[in-house]
Amino acid sequence: MGLTPTRDDKFTFGLWTVGNRGRDPFGEFVRPPVDPVTAVRRLADLGAYGVNFHDNDLVPVDATSTERDRIVRDFRRALDATGMDVPMATTNLFTDPVFKDGAFTSHDPRVRQYALQKTMRAMDLGVELGAKTYVFWGGREGAEVDAAKDPVEAIKRFRAAIDFLCDYAIDQGYDLRFALEAKPNEPRGDLYFPTTAAYLGLIPTLAHPDMVGVNPEVAHEQMAGLNFFHAVAQALDAGKLFHIDLNDQKPGRFDQDLRFGSESIKPLFFLVKLLEESGYDGPRHFDAHAYRTEDQEGVWEFAAGCMRTYLILKEKAKQFCNHSGIQALLAEIRDAGGVADVGPYTRGRAEELKAQTFDREALAKRRLPYERLDQMVVDLLLGV
């Protein structure tokens, strides 16, 4: 197997992922900060394609314009030196106390305006560094107290913000698509738009639906116990898979952002297979971080592990396609027995169909050897 990542694999990491310092609700930082230039160099060495960032991952929120310029210059030099890209950028609309009750959905119009300002500036920064995709994760757009905020109003406010920012991108001539990222809860008790599908439902109601898609994240769907593979399939079917966040998560608990493939081996095999076979050609972005027990060198092990497991699963996806036993079973399972699809509606077809006689019992008896098929997949995954 070719398990050494190359640029063609399009693996990307957020600055915040390898820069994660291991603070959690019950403990302090365990690792020093990683400066962006180091992150770029180390990731490039590991075979990554690019890095992504929140505005303040790169430029501190209170930086002067001189500081900003210096940081951006140094960062660009590191990109140039390594050949790394910045395919995606995003805005931090959740860390600062100003966003304690939301950014675009805050009750306070000044907070909403500040969120717009911060996003426009962050879009400028992202575009300046080459980003083609702009991600929106509404980390504080939610509620603990449903008495306080009308969720219909919150949706309208969120829509207005996205519409405004689409227009801004268009007006600036930016070659930029938006990707909306869902999460069911945490840090808020409940977040609005809790699933990828919630954004698939929102997008058609936007002013510029064509330039807006989704950024599904493994951990976020799995927090709600949902099948991530199915969620991505729906995004693909809708032509809306604009970006993807790869990591791992045990269902029904806090957001873990674990190393890709460290928990959900079988589900992530199907995901990788789908991504590789679907024609999706965007970045494979890892939005994860190292265990808090890890030191800084462990962070690079973690990053290498994400890519390695992706490549192993990609190789297994190929094996699946070339596995004669699996393919024979699939052929049997999918065999339509020469019966044609009914096709689009015509009155004639409907009448014919309504008059037809079906032998329910015979149809029910059809063999569906899914246990055998699934065991073959388990064997393949376990390398037997």
Q: Which of residues 279-318 bind its own copies (CB under 8 A)?
A: 290-295, 297-299, 301-302, 304-305, 308-309, 312, 316
* Sequence letter at residue 302: F
Question: Quick check: is 107 catalytic?
Answer: no
Angle of the 36-46 helix axis to the 65-82 helix axis, nearest 10: 10
- φ/ψ of residue 52, rounded to 5: -125, 165
Residue 104's CB is within 10 A of a number of other CB atoms, namely: 25
Which of 37, 63, 72, 265 binds its own copies (CB under 8 A)? It is 265
Per-residue x/- track, 165-204, its own copies (CB under 8 A): --xx--x------------xxxx-xx-xxxx-xxxxxxxx
Residue 78's CB is within 10 A of a number of other CB atoms, namely: 19
The footprint of its own copies on this chain (CB under 8 A) covers a number of residues equal to 158
Question: Quick check: is 57 catalytic?
Answer: yes
Cα–Cα distance for residue pair 295/94, rounded to 1 Å: 26
Is residue 327 a contact point for its own copies (CB under 8 A)?
no
Cα–Cα distance for residue pair 292/158, rounded to 1 Å: 34
Minimum CB distance to its own copies, residue 311 (Å): 10
Q: What is the footprint of its own copies within residues 340-369 (CB under 8 A)? A: 340-342, 344-345, 347, 350, 353-354, 356, 358, 360-361, 363-369
Give residue for tokens 């698939």: 200
- Cα 296 off chain centre by: 25
Is residue 139 a contact point for its own copies (CB under 8 A)?
yes
- Window of 39-47, 74-82, 142-150, 173-181 that interacts with its own copies by CB under 8 A: 142-150
Q: Which residue, 88 or 223, is less far from its own copies as judged by CB?
A: 223
Q: What is the footprint of its own copies within residues 90-109 (CB under 8 A)? A: 94-101, 107-109
Is residue 2 a contact point for its own copies (CB under 8 A)?
no
Q: Which residue, 7 or 230, is less far from its own copies as judged by CB?
A: 230
Is residue 13 a contact point for its own copies (CB under 8 A)?
no
Q: What is the DSSP string of 263-291?
A: S-HHHHHHHHHHHHHHT--S-EEE-----
Cα–Cα distance for residue pair 161/290, rounded to 1 Å: 33
